[in-house]
Amino acid sequence: MALKGLDIFKLTPKKNCKECGSPTCMAFAMKVASGAVPIEKCPHMSADALASLSEATAPLMKSITVGAGATEHKLGGETVLFRHEKTLVNRNLYAVTLCSCMSADEIDAKIEEVKKVDYERIGEREYVEFLYLNYAGNGADAYVALVNKAMAAERALVLNCADADVAKAALDVCKAAKPILNGASKDNLDAMNAAATAAGVTLGVTGADISEIYDNIKALEGKGNKNLIIDCTGADAKQTFANAVMVRRGNLKDQDRSLGYPSIVNLAKIAEGDLHMQTALAAAFTLRYGSIIVMEKMTYAEALALYGLRQNIFTDPQKPMKVEPGIYALNGADENSVCSLTVDFALTYFLVSGEYERSKCPVNLLITDASGMSVLTAWAAGKFSAGTIKKFFDENDIENKIKSRTLIIPGKVAVMKGEIEAKLPGWNVVVGPMEAVQLVKFIKDYTA
């Protein structure tokens, strides 16, 4: 159970100091309980008290670091079940499977395919973060060869291998990369735990059902291993989903720390050969509760949908997603192409840029800083006005960078036309349509 502020207050030494003196000790304890201040800030706590309280006041779900260097990722650490309650901490990550049963050429081709999905969206790199390496029982040499090829791809690794001896051989060549060793079950618990702890890597725990998974976790914790990840994959999608939900709710609602670990869901296993079903399930587990989501392959079609969904879920609801203000040349636009103005709210940008790209007409899309607000909200808040537009033009040297003097503004702020013309003498300010979907016809007719 997580300690409340009153529990911490009772255990805190009553010293008259700035951090926890008697007038402020209760306030300090409440801050510790809420996570605003670490318990170590109290200079009068004994080492034993600090040790016990630090664990008790830590988030119910452990934050696990896997990978190393450029492939390092954090998983878990969540404090709420739903995004609207507060915010989610560490976004889920995607993995693509490789198998030791594949030929060298097949492995190379699939790795190259994985590397093609790598792009930036709203300031974040979107790519396949993990390679999930299945052991097919064809010997340590074949598996080690697969691991060596995967390491060269510069992705974090999940070693899905239930054979402890083969796992040790694989870890000997990749333990510095801090992979996840997945496959600990009741049948191999001791051997897999020994292999993972000796290499200093995270161990993936699985079981036939949620009860067996829980028993295996308790057994590993009893051996002192809390560097774990839970493989929630069941016999089918229904059981997998149930496992993932029960693990998360058992941890965050029932405050059971033995369920407080990130999770793996292997969709390549439960929907083998059906990429469309895997994509649909991946969307569900992006929402509920896969920390690492494993698929057979990832193409741009899947990536655009899943990564866009992930960005919407794993952002602070109080901080809207924004794009960088500046000039975005669309469809080969140059200095002579017309300009179109809108705000930096990510949704607005993608709607407007998408319609302009569909029109095939060259347009310089000007994105001005509006604190991530939509057009009307920014206008009402004074963030999108003739003055802010003039400031944006000056800061980005628009007058010298672009020879065109046509500026299309959103139809919803047509009232700004005269004010903008007054601030930008020499510019022909054109009122655009009310909705983004009307932009294709509008720009085609205007530039015809």
For 120-164, what is each residue's pLDDT tens digit?
Answer: 887 788 999 999 999 999 999 999 999 999 999 999 999 999 999
Listed in sequence order, the residues at least 6 apart from 38 whose beta carbon sits closer than 8 Å to its beta carbon are 32, 54
Q: What are the residue ranges of CATH 3.40.50.11600 in the chain?
A: 326-447
CA nearest 137: which of 105, 103, 161, 157?
A: 161
Cβ–Cβ under 8 Å, residues 249 and 210: no
What pLDDT is stored for residue 1 in this prediction?
Answer: 45
CATH fold group of domain 326-447: Rossmann fold (3.40.50)
CATH 3.20.20.20: which residues of the chain?
A: 63-313
For the beta carbon of residue 49, count every other beta carbon within 10 angstroms. Answer: 15
Q: Looking at residue 22, what is its pLDDT?
A: 43
Q: For 252-255, which contacts have Cβ atoms below 8 Å and span 24 or more sequence positions?
A: 252/60, 252/61, 252/78, 252/79, 252/80, 252/81, 253/81, 255/1, 255/2, 255/60
Residue 57: pLDDT over 90: no
Does the pLDDT at position 11 exceed 60? no
- Report whether pLDDT(20) > 50: no
Question: Is the pLDDT score of 303 beyond 60?
Answer: yes
Q: What is the pLDDT of residue 31?
A: 67
Quick one: CA torsion of 175, 180, 182, 185, rounded to 10 degrees?
90
407 by Cβ neighbours in 10 Å (0-12 / 13-18 / 19+) ranks as buried
Supply the pLDDT for residue 443.
93
The whole-angstrom separation of Cα 175 and Cα 280 is 33
Show the DSSP H helices in 253-299 as ranges.
267-270, 275-287
Mapping DSSP to helix (H, G, I), strand (E, B) and coil, where does residue 225 land? coil
- Contact call for residues 10 and 28 (beta carbons, < 8 A): no
CA distances from 88 to 91, 92, 108 (A): 7, 10, 35
Fold of the domain built from segment(s) 63-313 = TIM Barrel (3.20.20)
Question: Across the beta sheet with 339-343, what order do the strands follow?
Answer: 326-330, 363-368, 339-343, 406-409, 428-431
The candidate with the shortest Cα–Cα distance to 253, out of 60, 445, 92, is 60
For 337, list phi and psi in degrees, rounded to 5: -80, 150
